Chain A
């Protein structure tokens, strides 16, 4: 068993309203221009809010996931045998199709979707499907990393997808979760809520040994991860951020790093008043007096909330930011909120003077995750 095996990221791909591919994602989050426009994909008549961050010319979710997996494994340089030796962990919403499928098309619903994608892409390892709401993708990454570190698996492709569609849109609108002013303002005074956004992404994770044997370039490492629960409420986070703080502490412990080693946090911050304040409290619990000096941003203000895929999209943002040496912007800032005493990156990207960053995600049910990315 390969205990303490380092977990490498060797291939990535992402689609969002910022464009297709890692370059488009990075350019978009560094520019910091929100991608929210009136929804034209389906009818929003009667909805309280009518904007989202949607990519043009998207296919079905299964088609886009197939494309994302293919591009990620190609980027990782995997040959046919390498693909065959890969497991697939999928993060997506459970239940029926999330977008209408043209008549005559035979596309599988969850849970058969993962097997369908694996077959199409030549991945012959085991599959697993996560439907853990907004921590689906980050939970999949954490589990994949744990299984690689335990020596159970050598390589896992983690894929995640959400395309803005009428059912979830109507639900978020009915729950008054969407920002009525058409902007996402994480940690800011006057924040009104979240906005939805497309996100389809895939990441190849593999053991350092496997990557080295085939001469694959390591983009970064998933050096730590943590998952915890609030035990507080079906839908609201604990006001003191207890679960998120414990997830972050677990990620630091697994990485063997002290809090002061972290130089950037890609926050979950959705722009929701209660949730952002809870996350600020979690950051204060973990980083103490340094929390107010730690660069933090939430790129949901630019690409929107990709729900089950958000954790993977934001992991990619974090990896790209560290490698490029620039930390992304938080859009929508109106002014400081005393409940969120943080160093929020706004106006312009900041130089990344760190090799280690955390990316947070939180979900209904008090589910919290933290992933620790290292480029060293």
Chain B
């Protein structure tokens, strides 16, 4: 069996001049509102002392440094605020994970294995979405607010803070753990930042 032939790309032009319209400059540069949050704690990977060492592995996650990097930077950030945790129930702490590329190492392995007609290990299913490691962090620390994963086209921190701001304003979250992560182009650990955001004074 082979893939069916896709139909031609559809355009939603409803009148002359709409094809390929570039978003207005004003919209492209418009900022999401994020003035309602303050930084309670922050951590990065790598920090001083991390040279040469990768983040520790996470049980149940294989092949890719994506989950270990998220777990490490989240642990470092939350420990600075809460020691060993976990937080008491009802804390409504959201996990907002922002990554443009996602788990590129894991996705590449799956793509190559499937294309070659091979079999994928079951653990790849359980780590196939960024929610999984976000849920790992939430379970470890008892974070019972919303879980949201975004793939930003612009400034990842601004976009993540805007999401946190909205969740706090809306009331589903009382604070938010924002995690920014991108793997290096070769799939090795790149950089990650975790920021615990609380409600500030709204303008």
Contacts and interface: CB of A to CB of B under 8 A. Distances in A.
A216 interface: no
Interface in B79-109: 89, 92, 94-95, 99-104, 107
A59 B11 CA distance: 12
| Size bracket of the A interface | 35 or more
Contacts of A366: 135, 138-139, 147
A133 B12 contact: no
A177 B134 CA distance: 20
B163 A175 contact: no
A152 B33 contact: yes
Interface string B150-192: 1111000001000100110111100000000000000000000
Given A57-B7, A234-B60, A250-B171, A167 B129 contact: no
B151 to A, nearest CB: 4
Nearest to B33: A152
Contact of B23 (A43, A46, A118, A230): A118
B3 to A, nearest CB: 6
A157 to B, nearest CB: 11
Contact of B129 (A133, A139, A152): A133
B114 A170 contact: yes
A71 B12 CA distance: 8
Contacts of B122: 174-176
B147 A174 contact: no
B156 to A, nearest CB: 10
Contact of B10 (A70, A93, A111, A152): A70
B172 A228 contact: yes
Contact of B7 (A63, A70, A83): A63
Q: Which has the most chain B C-beta neighbours within 10 Å: A39, A123, A124?
A: A124
B166 A70 contact: no
B153 A114 contact: yes
B130 interface: yes
Contacts of A114: 153
Contacts of A177: 125
B107 A228 contact: no
A10 to B, nearest CB: 16
Given A80-B18, A231-B138, A364 B129 contact: yes
A84 B24 contact: yes
Interface in A152-167: 152, 166-167
Given A111-B153, A133-B149, A234 B139 contact: yes
A147 B32 CA distance: 10
Contact of A99 (B3, B102, B107): B3
Interface stretch (A102-110, A317-325, A330-338, A353-361): A102-110
Given A119-B21, A120-B12, A175-B126, A365 B150 contact: no
Nearest to A39: B1
A99 B130 CA distance: 20
A19 to B, nearest CB: 15
Contacts of A45: 117
A226 interface: yes
A123 B10 CA distance: 16
B33 A132 contact: no
Interface string A111-144: 1101100111111111111111101100100010
A174 B60 CA distance: 15
Nearest to B169: A150
Interface string A56-71: 0111101110110111
B24 A124 contact: yes
B30 interface: yes
A4 interface: no
A17 interface: no
Contacts of A115: 23, 153
Contacts of B169: 146, 150
A228 B139 contact: no
B133 interface: yes
Contacts of B9: 59-60, 62-63, 66, 105, 107
B4 interface: yes
Interface in A65-106: 66-67, 69-71, 73-74, 80, 83-84, 93-96, 99-102, 105
Contacts of B39: none
B175 to A, nearest CB: 13
Contacts of B111: 96, 167
Nearest to A165: B3
Interface of B: 1-15, 18-24, 27, 30, 32-33, 60, 89, 92, 94-95, 99-104, 107, 110-111, 113-114, 117, 119-122, 124-136, 138-139, 141-153, 159, 163, 166-167, 169-172
Given A228-B146, A230-B138, A242-B144, 15 more contacts: A43-B2, A43-B117, A46-B119, A66-B11, A73-B12, A121-B12, A135-B147, A136-B149, A139-B146, A146-B169, A166-B114, A171-B110, A174-B119, A231-B139, A231-B144
